Amino acid sequence: MSHPGELIIEPRSGRPADACVFILHGLGADGHDFEPLVPALTLKEGLDVRFILPHAPRLPVTINGGMVMPAWYDIHEMSLDRRVDTRQLVASAERIQALVQEQIDHGIDSRRIILAGFSQGGAVAYQAALSFPAPLGGLLALSTYFATAETIELNEANRGLPIEIHHGSFDPVVPEALGKAAQQRLQTLDYPVHYRSYPMAHAVCPQQVGDIAAWLNARLG
């Protein structure tokens, strides 16, 4: 599995970063997909955040006729319970965890590192964040599902991780039922979860951008 790197956006202030937000894109996209989101986020003055937008490797994707495209893992079928290649998903999560560890090794406090992911990227973010061995600052799950809910080895370090879930009520790709199922599962496990629904399809909407900024400010400010 080739690892094609990541897009890194340093703080606008020109000062050294003291926090880091990872954003994992969806199927068929790359790190540039969420590049326009970064300048649209109104972050508090004095908040020096490095954004890291990794690119997924290129894999054959079964549901797309075996076409090779950027994917964090293969999806075998689009049934509501989403049969996916868990081994590939975990490998992608371990790669993200290694990138997180690099930031920690370079002096960023783990509690000032946030993982965010959209769709497939969100499934990887769930796995990476909830099994990470140092306490993180938060998990933002966008239009996604908790693919490894039955197999993940939860790490006690992130038992209190604040989780923000956003989903579109008209999502034809990842039905909102999957977002709500993740919320219910996490609440059963006693995670602090907050859920927001938006009148949108499989996307990010302007109102949501404001909510994401407010959440990042609350988590990192």
Q: Distance between CA 134 and CA 118 in Å, rounded?
A: 23
Of 2-6, 55-59, 152-156, 197-201, the one with minimum mean pLDDT is 2-6
Predicted confidence (pLDDT) per residue in 123-136, tens digit: 999 999 999 999 99
Cβ neighbours of residue 109 under 8 Å, at least 6 residues apart? Answer: 18
Whether pTM > 0.85 for this model: the answer is yes
CB neighbours of residue 214 within 10 Å: 15
Question: 57 with 50: CB under 8 angstroms?
Answer: no
Catalytic residue selected from 25, 74, 110, 119? 119
Predicted confidence band of residue 197 (pLDDT cuts 50, 70, 90) = very high
Residue 139 has what pLDDT? 98
Predicted confidence (pLDDT) per residue in 24-62, tens digit: 999 999 999 999 999 999 999 999 999 999 999 999 999
Q: Is 106 a catalytic residue?
A: no
Domain residue spans of the chain: 6-220
Residue 78 has what pLDDT? 78
Predicted confidence (pLDDT) per residue in 99-126, tens digit: 999 999 999 999 999 999 999 999 999 9
The tally of CA atoms less than 13 A away on the side-chain side of residue 43 is 20
Q: Is 119 a catalytic residue?
A: yes
Q: Is the per-residue pLDDT at 2 higher than 50?
A: no
Cβ neighbours of residue 6 under 8 Å, at least 6 residues apart? Answer: 31, 52, 53, 54, 55, 99
Strands (E), 56-152: 58-61, 67-70, 75-77, 83-84, 113-118, 138-142
The residue with tokens 């990192």 is 220
Q: Is the per-residue pLDDT at 205 higher than 60?
A: yes
Residue 139's H or E segment, with its range, is strand 138-142
Pairing of strands 49-54, 19-24: parallel
Catalytic residue selected from 18, 48, 197, 202? 202
Average pLDDT over residues 66-80: 90
Predicted confidence band of residue 80 (pLDDT cuts 50, 70, 90) = low
Q: Is 171 a catalytic residue?
A: yes
CATH architecture group of domain 6-220 = 3-Layer(aba) Sandwich (3.40)
Cβ neighbours of residue 211 under 8 Å, at least 6 residues apart? Answer: 166, 196
Predicted confidence band of residue 1 (pLDDT cuts 50, 70, 90) = very low
Strands (E), the chain: 6-9, 19-24, 49-54, 58-61, 67-70, 75-77, 83-84, 113-118, 138-142, 163-168, 193-198
Catalytic residue selected from 33, 74, 85, 171? 171
Average pLDDT over residues 137-165: 97
